[in-house]
Each structure stands twice: as structure tokens, then as C-alpha cells.
Amino acid sequence: IEAKRVLGYGRARLVIDSLSAFWLDKPAMARRYSYFVKKVLSKWDFTVMATSQYAITTSEAFGWGVEHIADGIIRFRRFVRNGVLRRYVIVEKMRQTAHDLRMHEIKIVPGEGMRILPPTGERIEDAKLLPSVAEKIRRAKARRLEEAP
């Protein structure tokens, strides 16, 4: 922002890695701060590309997610399947733009870059919980019932 003041107004690009770091000390204020950041940067005609951290355990935003101010969300995921790291990309949100809603596997090819493969097919995990996860949920519900007055 200091550079923008020196360089003057007009269109500019800004990369912020990571917006999540802004809210670490005050997560309850994240929404207010993120709206302020969006307002200021929009006024200055910035095109912003920002990263935001997701919880590894749940694959969900940490609660201070910036999804509400983003015009587009491109989410990268990774899984280990049969002992092999597999990477995926999905466009979760892209305002005013028709886009593919399916997840695609990606490959990082030396000397070429990122190659996007055809959409992934449906898997049983997409509709059914793993037995170990279902059991944890069942136990958590049982504990809550025992604790209820």
C-alpha cells in the first residue's frame, strides 16, 4: 500500500500471501478487517490475487476465511492415494462467470508447468463417510447425549 501511494493511482496488481496471517491475533475481527481491505484496494483499482489457508484436518476455512470478499476462489487439494501424492484443482466460486464445477487432477510436469487433466469421476467417498469417520461421529454424538441435562 505504501508503494501505491508513491507510484500513484491507476490500475495495479497485488499478490497477498497469505491473508490468513492478517487475522491470526484477532480472528473475531477478520470479517471486518477483510471488508476494509477489499474497500481500500478496490478504491485504488487493484486486481488482487490472495492466498488463504485451509485447515488440513477438515479441508475447511479456519473461520476467518475471506470467501465473502473474493470474486473467485480456486482451490487446490491434495490426497495420498495408494501411496502416491495426487493433486487436484476446483473452481469453487467465480462471480459472473460460467465455470466447470468438477474437480480436475493436475500434474506438475518439469519444463512444462501445470497440466490440468480431465475431470475426476465420482468416488464412493464423495457420498459415503469412511467407517472410521462415521464411528468418530457416532461416539461424539453419544458423548453429547450423555452430557445433556
Task: Give the domain CATH number at 34.
Answer: 3.40.50.300
Whether 99 is covered by a domain: the verdict is yes
Between CA 67 and CA 19 the distance in angstroms is: 11
Whether 132 is covered by a domain: the verdict is no
Residues of the chain where predicted confidence (pLDDT) is lower than 70 = 1, 3, 54-65, 124-127
pLDDT at 34: 84
pLDDT at 126: 65
**What is the H or E stretch that residue 107 is in?**
strand 104-109
- Confirm if 115 and 105 have CB atoms less than 8 A apart: no
Tally of domains within the chain: 1
Range of the domain at 114: 2-123
> Is the model's pTM score more than 0.85?
no
pLDDT tens-digit readout, 14-50: 888 888 777 777 777 778 888 888 888 888 888 888 8
pLDDT at 55: 60
pLDDT at 112: 95
